[in-house]
Amino acid sequence: MAAALAIGGGGEGLRQRLLGHRGARLDVDHVHDMQLLCDSTAIVEAWAHDCGGVFVKLPPAEATRGDLAQALNKCVMRMGQMSADFERAIKDGQIDVRECKVLQTDVADLSAAAREFVGLALAVFGTRDVQQALAGTVVSAEGS
């Protein structure tokens, strides 16, 4: 319901905009508002994935060792998910298109989690020079 409120209409208005009925469309400002109200980055993550990249949420300004531990745990969980999906995929001795897409999503999720972890590690342990050098740096999907 928060998504419908973000665009200034009810559920039917949101459905029409999502499906493009009668020329209705969601603009970028509506999508931004929807993400803020829903406290989600799912839409921008999907856009980044569609463009061959990953969305990496910047670490909080005052990262803690606890944040770092959570980020590392997230990496381990993503790796475990990828491992389980891989085992299921090769159970029949081959990887089909659906299984390939699942594994590609797993890799993107793991990559995003690893980038978040490194960002937090640098925020917590990076020297002042490292933090100043990284301020404003955008890391591409290829890591450059």
Q: What is the C-alpha to C-alpha distance for residues 3 and 7, in angstroms, rounded to an integer?
A: 7
pLDDT digits (tens, 9 = 90+) for 48-85: 888 888 777 766 567 788 888 999 999 999 999 999 99
Half-sphere exposure of 21 (CA within 13 A, CB side): 8
Q: How confident is the model at residue 138 (pLDDT cuts 50, 70, 90)?
A: very low
Which range has the worst mean pLDDT, 7-16, 18-27, 51-60, 83-92? 7-16
Helix (H) or strand (E) holding 44: helix 42-50
Question: Residue 33, CB half-sphere, CA atoms under 13 Å: how many?
Answer: 15
Residue 97: per-residue pLDDT: 97
- Per-residue pLDDT tens for 91-135? 999 999 999 999 999 999 999 999 989 888 888 888 888 777 766
> What is the model's pTM?
0.53
> For residues 125 and 24, what is the distance between their CA atoms, to the nearest angstrom?
49
Judge contact between 52 and 141, C-beta under 8 A: yes
Does the structure show a pLDDT above 70 at 6?
no
